[in-house]
Amino acid sequence: MDFDYENLPAVRVTNLVKRYKNGTLAIRRLDFTVRKGEAVAILGANGAGKTTFLRQLTTELKPTSGTIEIFGLDAVREAGRAKLTMGVTPQEAGVFETLTAREHLELFGRLKGLGKAAARAASDELLEALELRAEAKKTVGTLSGGQRRRILVGLALIGAPPLLILDEPTTGLDPQSRRTVWALIKRAIGTGTTVIFSTHYLEEAENLSTRIAFISGGELVADGSLAALRARLPQKYRLSYANGSGPFPQPRVEFFETFAGAQQFIGDRRIGEYQLATVSLENVYFSIVGERIGEERAFEDE
Ligand code: ADP
């Protein structure tokens, strides 16, 4: 393509607002720039606006107002060209049930501009990497929830687009499949791909991202590296220990500003068994946003 991937931000969002037809204000006013090569995790409770935000980036939804540029391309006026730079996990409804897993990947590869042989080779490589080789000839409609989810990730990755936009790429996957998907996303990041993904799994955000954005009530409430976000908290250490002895000691948690302060507490109380660590992303999220991220969803299958 004829534009400058290297020097333009991958994504630049200014003054973004999305109001649905029924009046729901899902994105209130969002400014957000993602540089090339960044891997950004979008975290937020259910209903925070994550999907609405991502679907505007992918050009599926039009902003009510504000602008979105993808590598300098206007996501509304040049939606077609912008879309060609992106690999996107499609909505489940956008999946063709009667195509086989391989046909589906090949089709998306062709749409990304790969020739026939290249699309076939890329599909086979992805089926292998996603541990779906045995499913290559099965129709997508007959696959399990977890297998379909992995196909969706494959559809985003095929053709190695410079920008990946992944809405909850591993929801419903068992831990093993989640790691398989993480490895593929990490590989893409390693080759300079820009990635923006939403997730409910804090471990996923910690593992895959170089930058974390918290969205709440349609607004960006914090944005930075995990270390930078952690640094905003006055209390940076978390001590968990068991209070009392006997068969049912009470689990307790305390937070401290300094490591020395925590050690003093442990010494003063003669606490024998404890865990002392820097605060987790969950603690940081709760402290900044003031709500919990939402319960973990149960595994769909496998
Ligand atoms: P998240 O992905 O963080 O769970 P969503 O972007 O799905 O959040 O939703 C943000 C808000 O917009 C919620 O209040 C949700 O109910 C509302 N919403 C989402 N989709 C629609 C729609 N098609 N029409 C009206 N309201 C919607």
Determine whether the shortest distance from the Cβ of 180 to ligand 1 is under 6 A: no
Note whether 14 and 47 are same-domain residues.
yes
Q: What is the pLDDT of residues 229-262, one digit of tens each?
A: 998 888 889 999 987 767 777 889 999 999 999 9
How big, in percent rounded to 5, are the helix, strand and coil portions of the chain?
35, 25, 40
Whether 4 has a pLDDT exceeding 80, the answer reads no
In a domain, 90, yes or no: no
DSSP codes joined into one string, 152-167: HHHHHHTT--SEEEEE
Note whether 262 and 169 are same-domain residues.
no
The answer for residues whose C-beta is within 8 angstroms of residue 74's C-beta and 6 or more apart is 67, 68, 82
Note whether 76 and 6 are same-domain residues.
yes
In a domain, 229, yes or no: no
Whether 5 has a pLDDT exceeding 70, the answer reads no
Give the residue among 173, 123, 133 at the shortest CA–CA distance from 150.
173
Distance 291 CA to ligand 1 centre (A): 18
Q: Which residue, of 120, 139, 160, is where some domain finishes? A: 160
Determine whether the shortest distance from the Cβ of 22 to ligand 1 is under 6 A: yes
In a domain, 291, yes or no: no
The answer for residues whose C-beta is within 8 angstroms of residue 116's C-beta and 6 or more apart is 110
In a domain, 285, yes or no: no
Question: 218 and 48 in contact (C-beta within 8 Å)?
Answer: yes
Question: 99 and 107 in contact (C-beta within 8 Å)?
Answer: yes
Q: What is the pLDDT of residues 266-299, one digit of tens each?
A: 999 999 889 999 998 988 998 898 877 764 434 4
Note whether 5 and 44 are same-domain residues.
yes
CA angle 210, 108, 64 (to 5 degrees): 60
Note whether 80 and 179 are same-domain residues.
yes
Query: Domain range holding 126?
Result: 96-160
Residue to mutate (ligand 1; options 16, 19, 20; most atoms within 8 A of CB)? 20
Note whether 267 and 173 are same-domain residues.
no
Note whether 53 and 200 are same-domain residues.
yes
Determine whether the shortest distance from the Cβ of 149 to ligand 1 is under 6 A: no
Note whether 43 and 108 are same-domain residues.
no
- The side-by-side arrangement of strands in the sheet containing 250-256 is 250-256, 237-243, 274-278
- The total of structural domains in the chain comes to 3
Tell me the mean pLDDT in the region 71-89: 95
